Structure 1
Amino acid sequence: MSQAPLVLVDGSSYLYRAFHALPPLTTSKGLPTGAVKGVLNMLKSLRKQYPDSPFAVVFDAKGGTFRDDMYAEYKANRPSMPDDMRLQIEPLHQSVIALGFPLLCVEGVEADDVIGTLARSSAAADRPVVISTGDKDMAQLVDGHITLVNTMTGSALDVEGVKEKFGVAPEQIIDYLALMGDSSDNIPGVPGIGPKTASGLLVGVNGGLKELYEQLDIVPTLPIRGAKNLPAKLEEHKEMAFLSYQLATIKIDVPLDVGLDDLHLIEPDREKLLELYTLLEFKSWYDEVQRDTKRVELKASTEAAPVAAVAEAVVVAPVEAVYTTILDQATFDVWLKKLDAATLIAFDTETTGIDAHQAQLVGVSFAVQPHEAAYVPLAHSYIGVPQQLDRDSVLLALKPLLEDPNKLKVGQHAKFDMNILANCAIGGDPAHGITVRGIAFDTMLESYVLNSTATRHDMDSLAKKYLDYDTVSFQDIAGKGAKQLTFDQIPLEQAGPYAAEDADVTLRLHQALHARLAAIPSLASVLTDIEMPLVPVLARIERQGALVDAQLLGVQSIELGNKMVELERQAFEIAGEAFNLGSPKQLGAILYEKLGLPVLKKTGKGQASTAEEVLAKLAEDDYPLPKVLMQYRSMSKLKSTYTDRLPEQINPRTGRIHTSYHQAVAATGRLSSSDPNLQNIPVRTAEGRRIRQAFVAPKGYKLLAADYSQIELRIMAHLSKDEGLMNAFRHNLDVHTATAAEVFKVELGAVTSDQRRSAKAINFGLIYGMGAQKLGKDIGVDTKTAKAYIDVYFARYPGVREYMERTRAQAADQGYVETFFGRRLYLPDINSNKPQERAAAERTAINAPMQGTAADIIKKAMVRVDNWLTDSGLDAKVILQVHDELVLEVREDLVAQVGEKIREHMSAAAQLDVPLLVEVGVGDNWDEAH
């Protein structure tokens, strides 16, 4: 039987990664616990995976190490440990020990050195070793006996895995790190040498740093970009390279007070675990330990005296919430005083529906401290409902508080509540509502900024995730389906606690989320400087709405219907028979059985797929029926989503379309919209442009469209610092023409429209991670030619390639990428052992900073424009935001003035190394203006 491996856990690495990558948790008293839970989960998983193994969990000790003496700047660029992480170290250490794991902290060295010493000692004794870490430095330890596993991602690295991942053997990893450096530890390396260049050099000289410096004369002959300039660069930074080698080398001879025989697991200290889990509020784990304790005690008591009583463990009682339904003036007055004295008010509205522009207000709820909240019902209308306070009197009493910008408030999806209150029509006057001001926080946005992909951002999901609390769902009190009640029909006995809980949970969520955000200043800035100022701006845009020509849409709908009939006829002709174009079964039979088209993908049930992406791929390969089907589906979607639906969505009170904008949906920070979704109206097709023609200006006004030009390429230029790309934008060159001139080796003035179109596909394709095969299909050349074009592109813009390599490596190392403003996008699959998942995450890593930065810039621009319009008092309003474009409704005589100021404010929304160009158009409809 093979020997169970020694398992060495890099506790410091996992603490850091769990803190930054996993959803934050806090106790009811505000103690952060998310990283503790993440690391303990990982340890529990390892213990199950290696039940017979000796273990050591190793943490960095306090104070400096020998590397600080060697290089004063070592790790100097690391920010100080966040307080929320520091607070979790001691309870984590205590929990690890209480669970029965040996825990090691050795002064003067790092956890890596302790692990390296134990690993090599065990390997020398022919015992296998598993090192659980997320640190790439550890790859230098891998050999026939030692394997790395990343328990958080499920990936593993043996000798071949190291070679595949880094391009060098484990024994070259130190040399590899010495050349490229390590920004996380401030190991300097050789400036300008990235992962690909470092591995290329080491493979080229078939050795390490010493052999490289002995063979500098052969470096120019190696197949490495910029190889001719490398010898001088290497010679200049030789001393720093060898210092970096020393800094990156893990010690394997640390004197230790423990040996391999001391590293055995012991029985958990259940009493200590109960104490810790009570402090940390890990209820499910507390219950688990309690059950284990009872089993042990029962067994012992049964053996000693079968009739002896078993002592019950102490159960920590949950905090009892106090919720009040306000039906009398005296109680309302008490709460008014509480609200007036509060430093922060959590509030929520209850309504008859989810359309903020048509739903009616039913009641309002408030909380000013955790576990205490009140609901004021205003319009419940079921038979037997108790007398409620006068709606208008309550709203007039609340109006000064809600409109006071200095009275800070927090909501969950507060934009909805703002619009409801703005439309509440006090006294029956539609123009007389409440303009809520002072929205300082929104828990939906706090969660979204903290980690856009960790969870859904609705209240029920957030409460479960961050408070370990199950809220009462709307379906619990209203029912489901056709018989579901509207909120005004729900009895106050149920409605009151439900509504009060919403305000209470909002306040508690804010306390849990805000502390974690405050520990990461860049994320706190994204919330306070971008997302929160945008909330009232979006609320105003939604209330303003857009005017549409329902008659024109009706004409377009008929035309689309006629085109669909013609396309259906063509499909029948190609198929040789009539069939239902909407039936996957019939369509599959025609495509694959009758016409014999290749099966590209199968459904979960093993049937040949007729999904849109499959048809699109077949259409690309020039199969006629899929081409017709794609056109048919496109027409059908436009008809059902826009030309048929938009007239039905015109608000009868305002005569306008009121879309809803969503800040917390797209992972990259992009805004999305719904009811209707205006982001997906195609701009490149005649049919899509005709739909835009139906968005019109009222008499005496014009539509003004302001659009950022090539913003993602400009952001790429800024992020990559590529001189060629930056110069093209700085000198106002057409970047697609400039790229075409380089790729096709012609003068700027000789670039044809086809060459420019191909260069455009290259420019945008590469930043979206497109490969040579897909690019070749897009521009009509073979894969080899497309690969040659890509090579020329990277030779012309080497900074772009370096940015891509640097970003992939950084994403793999830290698990996320950032925008220019500090927004993070977490990439859970970046270190996946599945190549497809990992490749997709790497493509996202490269593109997300550009998409996310573009999203941040348009958001900042919207706030600037809104502030200017408010201050100027000019008759102009933003009515739409789509991707990188703002659409305004402007009085005719103000068009030139407004256009110039909009261009000015949008251009100044971010200070990049290249100018932001804003194109402004004007017309009687959206298509003309764009």
Structure 2
Amino acid sequence: MTLTHKPVGPGSHVFLVDGSSFVFRAYFQSIRQDAKYNYRSDRLPTGAVRLFCTKLLQFVREGAAGATPTHLAIIFDKSENSFRKEIYPEYKAHRSEPPEDLVPQFPLMRAAVRAFGLTPIEQDIYEADDLIATYAAQAREKGADVLIVSADKDLMQLIGPGVTMYDPASGTAGAKGSREERLINEAEVVDYFGVTPDKVVDVQALAGDSTDNVPGAKGIGIKTAAQLINEYGDLDSLLEKAPGIKQPKRREALTDPQAVALIRLSKKLVELVRDAPVETKLDDLGLHQPDPNKLVAFLQAMEFTTITRRVGDLYGVDIHDIEPDPHYVGAAGWRARNGEVDHAAAPAGPKPKEPRAPAADKATEGFSPATLAGARKAAALAEKIDRSTYETVMSVERLEEWVADAFEAGIVALDTETTSLDPLSCDLVGVSLALGPGRACYIPLQHREGGNGDLFGGADLVAGQIPLETAIEKLKPLFEDDAVLKVAQNMKYDLLVLSRYGIEVAPMDDTMLISYALDTGRNNHGLDELAQKHLGHENITFAQVAGSGRTFIGFARVPLDKATEYAAEDADVSLRLWRALKPRLAAEGKTAVYETLERPMVTTLAHMERRGITIDRHMLSRLSGEFAQDMARLEADIFDLAGASFNLGSPKQLGDILFGKMGLPGAKKTATGAWSTSASVLEDLAAEGNEFCRRILDWRQLSKLKSTYADALPGFVNKETGRVHTCYSLAATTTGRLSSSEPNLQNIPVRNEAGRKIRKAFVAPPGRVLISADYSQIELRLLAHIADIPQLKKAFADGVDIHAMTASEMFGVPVKDMPPEVRRRAKAINFGIIYGISAFGLANQLSIPREEAGAYIKRYFERFPGIRDYMDATKKTVREKMCVTTIFGRALHFPRIASANASDRAFYERAAINAPIQGAAADIIRRAMVRMDAALVEADLSAQMLLQVHDELVFEAPEAEAEATIALARRVMEDAPLPAVQLTVPLQVDARAAKNWDEAH
């Protein structure tokens, strides 16, 4: 056993685990599982110990919350007789006795800590929280980072620079009782207590704590306490000025001498000791590899089959050569009930064999994030995939064993196989699981043979499959258990599919989104590409097993052996990718991006997609006819101007008319040698006054609106819900913006009459309204903040018309006398600058000479030099680092910035200038969306968020709740950057309610 011997200092990661809290959490998680997993063969209760060991192995091997520990302490309460009992005998007097089955597991928890080569930390007089506070203070004094593993609100007072809390299974309870892990930083403390961590003690002193029997002030809860402390600054100032409080009851509660004495006593009870004389030195908490012999011997004695096997694999020992620790076997184990266990070193059998999997062992040696990430990368490439090891699960007994093993492993990768790509209408064909590299299975549920390939097309179920209802019953507790992390690639799809079978999956990690947080712009994030890049492995494709085109048979008819290879491989690869990519989040400083901007969006978007939106099919039918008539009139005009009729949908025929017959300038050839008739070519010609090209553009737009929306939208109505359910993609753009498909609701024009007519067809049901809440000029506001432009910041702060102000700055025209044309030019420049508009582009947009447009841009930069400075600095950054970063830490990569082609480099420079602005806007609306559902529930509003379209959110609400919903949506959206970023310009949200989407916008 090799100690790290490194003292705590800068770069150290000190994990302080609230062991006492963990004991109870593990117990209550264990009793929600099948009872047979909670007892040893001699009926010794061990369920809580099993889950405790599973989590402890995770801390030792992988860390938590994207960090890996260099020093680790598991800290317990030694007894209830702390110094607080001496100053207030009623402290914790109302605590009930622990459950009978938990009592014998207390000493076994400590024995488990010793088996892992650690020392359980506990001390007379002081509670575990005091020891955690002391170690945290010592670690910060030495420059180390601290992660406190607990959900105890009393520890929130310790959060600050370098000190974070991690709740491995908390968050907001879902409909099925599942909870998600979360990081607790200052923002979460403010959300809970209403004050920053340094004022938590004062709030607790006022509010008291019924659980610990801390008296506090009569009639004052957390919300009122927070208001008072925020108003008066601290507890002492509040009590000093309390006689001046106007409310009689509040004044009495804060001025009566006995009440004040109880408040000050309460502060002594809730304030943690940060200088306790700890018996184990901080530097002695250095993490080291446990002796695998002793660890396996303990686990064997506990009869923890799966985790024993996992430890053997991790540390390369043959578990069959190691005897169970006799101190914990049989009747001797029952002595644990009275704390009589002998903790002396136990014989551990012969020495282990040479490691069987050195790559896996190396994958977690060293505890710095960078070291772990590098080792995991190497291990991922070294561990080859063998599909022949996958199992087809055909019996309930084997399924139960896989589920039990997953509970002990604490992590399971999953994947669903279905009859279509629509998660809201498909049928579940099977589920795959993976518990470790190469350890994967497929559970076929509705495979069929014969028939025509349709799931219910006359084909018979393949014999021997587990009944669907039985499999769901067995998998549901696993997929919903908050002590088991579920991993998947594109988890949103699986979450939506399983929710239709009554399963709410949580907590979860998504390998696609981890990759997106790390490598936006570097590569795509599909499973096949990630497998090739990070594992050096080529996955079986769907077409290889299910066919394509005329040979397509559907997954339900794929033979079980081929289905197992394909499906289990997906789960296996997902888990391997998770192991390889997750450590990079901490190593590359992207944990916050993933935890706050990516992972929470999975549930948020799944809820939105499931809700859908109502459309008026009759209105769309009328629009289709109207658009057809308008297109016919345009065709007649176009043919008249061309002097001939031709196929308007044929780029070749159009090119021949434009550049052959008409001889128009600006002709360009495509790669195939045909004339280019792209929108940009036609727009350039139309800007020069060519009416023919203008009408071609109008015809194209109507044609697209007719085919894509008026004709197609009714086909997207779900038969069960009667609503349209779009699909949002989280990892499809280079800036963090969402994309929408099936149908795409983000490309409906909002600034022309035809597009607005399509929006009118999105309607609210009777008695309800649609609410559109849209950020006003958010990208200009972010430009003002990021580039630090005083004039723009002042204008936004004062609520001035930004385009009129810009025109006034540039052209010297007073705002009150601003001609519309001058304002229009300033508006074009304002928005064009964000996208790196050129003099040529601005000239086309404003229909002015290029020289005049160039003069406008030059004058703009003279009036706002900070914008030019920002652009130059961003170009320099992207050339040097090949990436830029948003104000929330999202890295946007531009690997092709080094292209030898000058026009390519210029294009990527313009994109890099815009990316931090557009990316920050995307991050802000993500932050708003993640918070919105909880805010609506907290406000007791039944409104639901349905759509996100760029900078706009669309809600459906009862008419009576419209105004309250608008007010809440504005507040959440405008406060979305906080507390991570304090913008120097205010955000503004325009919101309106109406019976259809167009009128609400």
Q: TM-score range by the shorter chain?
A: 0.5 to 0.7
- Residue 518 of structure 1 is matched in structure 2 by 586
Query: Structure 1 pair 873/437, CA: closer, same or farther in 2 (3 Å)?
Result: farther
Residue 123 of structure 2 corresponds to: none
Q: Give per-residue Cα distances to partners, 1:304-363, cap 9 Å, x unaligned.
A: xxxxxxxxxxx9994645211111111111111012222222111110010111111111
**Partner of 2:766 in structure 1?**
699
**Native 8 Å contact 1:742 1:792 kept in 2:** no
In the alignment, residue 976 of structure 2 is paired with which amino acid?
Answer: A
Aligned-pair CA distance for 1:611: 2.6
Q: Structure 2: how far apart are the matches of 1:863 and 1:401?
A: 25
Aligned residue number for residue 930 of structure 2: 863
**Residue identity matched to 2:866:** G
Q: CA deviation at 1:658?
A: 0.4
SS of 2:432's partner is: strand
Which letter maps to 2:473?
L
SS in 1 for 2:479: helix
* Alpha carbons 1:325, 1:497 under 8 Å: kept: no
Counterpart code for 2:481: D
**Aligned partner (choices 908, 917, 924) of residue 988 of structure 2:** 917
How far apart, CA to CA, are the structure 2 residues paired with 1:599 and 1:902?
A: 48
Q: Give the secondary structure class of the aligned counterpart of 1:607.
A: coil
Q: Is the 8 A contact 2:359 2:383 kept in 1?
A: no
The 1-side partners of 2:566 and 2:736 are apart by 31
1:245 maps to none
Whichever residue aligns with residue 456 of structure 1, its letter is N
- Cross-structure match for 1:798: 865
CA contact (8 A) 1:659 1:674 kept: yes
Map 1:486-501 to 2 at 5 A: 486-501=554-569
1:436 maps to which of 505, 508, 515: 505
Match of 1:398 in 2: 475
Q: 1:552 matched to which residue of 2?
A: 619
SS in 1 for 2:416: strand
- Cα distance in structure 1, aligned partners of 2:800 and 2:621: 43
Contact 2:624 2:711 in 1 (8 A): yes
Which residue is 1:388 aligned to? 465
Three-state SS of the structure 1 residue aligned to 2:971 is helix
Residue in structure 1 matching 2:754, options 684, 687, 703: 687
SS in 1 for 2:487: strand
CA distance in 2, matches of 1:827, 1:411: 27
* 2:915 corresponds to: 848
Partner of 1:668: 735
Contact 1:702 1:923 in 2 (8 A): yes
1:814 aligns with 2:891: no
Distance in 2 between residues matched to 1:791 and 1:581, nearest whole Å: 41
The correspondence of residues 222-237 of structure 1 with structure 2, limited to 5 A, is none
Equivalent residues in 2 for 1:370-769 (5 A)?
370-383=437-450, 385-424=462-501, 433-439=502-508, 441-521=509-589, 523-769=590-836
Task: Give 1:38-187 correspondences, 5 Å limit.
Answer: none
Distance between the aligned counterparts of 1:569 and 1:748, measured in 2?
45
Instruction: Please state how far the C-alpha of 1:534 moved relative to its aligned partner.
Output: 0.8
Residue 898 of structure 1 aligns with an amino acid whose one-letter code is: T
Provide Cα deviations, 1:201-229, integer angstroms capped at 9, x if missing partner.
xxxxxxxxxxxxxxxxxxxxxxxxxxxxx
Provide the TM-score with structure 2 as the length reference. Answer: 0.60
Q: Is the 8 A contact 1:729 1:915 kept in 2?
A: yes
Contact 2:513 2:730 in 1 (8 A): yes
Whether the 8 Å CA contact 2:769–2:996 is kept in 1: the answer is yes
- Deviation, structure 1 residue 417: 0.4
Deviates most, 373-382 or 402-411: 402-411
Alpha-carbon distance between aligned partners in 2 of 1:705 and 1:555, rounded to the nearest angstrom = 25
Find the residue that maps to 1:400 and give its secondary structure.
Answer: helix
Contact in 1 for aligned 2:936/2:968 (Cα 8 Å): no
Deviation at 1:492, TM superposition (A): 0.8
Task: Indicate if the aligned counterparts of 1:704 and 1:890 stay in contact, CA closer than 8 A.
Answer: yes
Deviations 1:236-275 (A, max 9, x none): xxxxxxxxxxxxxxxxxxxxxxxxxxxxxxxxxxxxxxxx
CA shift, 1:485, in A, is: 1.6
**Native 8 Å contact 2:521 2:895 kept in 1:** no
Q: Deviation string for 1:67-109 (max 9, x for gaps)? A: xxxxxxxxxxxxx9x9xxxxxxxxxxxxxxxxxxxxxxxxxxx
Residue 796 of structure 1 deviates from its aligned partner by 2.0
Displacement after TM superposition at 1:579 (Å): 1.3
Matched residue, 2:104: none
Residues of 2 paired with 1:871 and 1:467: CA distance?
A: 44
CA distance in 2, matches of 1:528, 1:670: 17
Question: In the TM superposition, what is the alpha-carbon distance from 1:545 to its structure 2 partner?
Answer: 0.2
CA contact (8 A) 2:620 2:761 kept: yes
Tell me the distance in 2 between the aligned counterparts of 1:724 and 1:870. Answer: 40
* Paired position in structure 2 for 1:334: 401
Correspondence 1:897-908 to 2 at 5 A: 897-908=964-975
Count of residue pairs brought into register by the alignment: 617
Amino acid at match of 1:766: I
CA positional deviation for 1:656: 0.4
For residues 771-830 of structure 1, the C-alpha deviation after alignment (integer angstroms, 9 at most, x for no partner) is: 122212212322222222222222222211111111111111111101111111111232
**Which residue of structure 2 aligns with residue 168 of structure 1?**
none
One-letter amino acid of the counterpart of residue 606, structure 2:
A
Does the 8 A contact of 2:400 with 2:474 survive in 1?
Answer: no
Alpha-carbon distance, 1:280 to partner: 11
Check 1:562–1:361 CA distance in 2 against 1; reply closer, same or farther (3 A cut): same
Amino acid corresponding to residue 544 of structure 1 in structure 2: R
- Displacement, 1:396? 1.8
Cα distance in 2 for residues equivalent to 1:729 and 1:345: 49
Q: Which residue identity does 1:893 align to in structure 2? A: A
Cα distance in structure 2, aligned partners of 1:870 and 1:325: 43
Deviation string 1:515-566 (CA, Å, 9 cap, x unpaired) is 2222111x22111111101110000000000000000000000000001111
SS, match of residue 897 in structure 2: coil
Root-mean-square deviation (CA, aligned residues, Å) is 2.3
Partner of 1:36: none
How big is the shift at 1:414?
0.3
Counterpart residue identity of residue 574, structure 2: T
Which range moved further: 588-597 or 468-477? Answer: 588-597
1:824 equivalent in structure 2: 891
Deviation at 1:879, TM superposition (A): 0.8
- 1:111-140 deviations in whole A, cap 9, x for unaligned? xxxxxxxxxxxxxxxxxxxxxxxxxxxxxx
Specify every segment of 5 or more residues in structure 1 that has no aligned partner in the other structure, as ranges.
Answer: 1-28, 31-79, 83-275, 282-314, 425-432
Matched, 1:354 2:421: yes
* Secondary structure of 1:829's aligned partner: helix
Give the Cα separation in 1 of the matches to 2:384 and 2:648.
58
Structure 1: distance between partners of 2:932 and 2:385? 46
Letter of the structure 2 residue corresponding to residue 459 of structure 1: L
Q: Secondary structure at the match of 1:353?
A: coil
2:946 partner SS? strand
Gaps of 5+ in 2: 1-60, 63-142, 146-357, 364-380, 451-459
Deviation at 1:458, TM superposition (A): 1.1
Q: Percent identity?
A: 45
> Could you give the per-residue CA deviations for residues 833-876 of structure 1, whole angstroms, max 9, x where no partner exists?
32201111110111000010000000000011122123444221
Q: Distance in 2 between matches of 1:826 and 1:319?
A: 30
Moved more, 693-702 or 355-364: 355-364
Query: CA separation in 1, counterparts of 2:872 and 2:528?
Result: 40
| Residues 599, 608 of structure 1: 8 Å contact kept | no
What TM-score, normalized by structure 1, do the two folds share? 0.64
Verify the 8 A CA contact 2:656 2:675 in the aligned structure 1: no
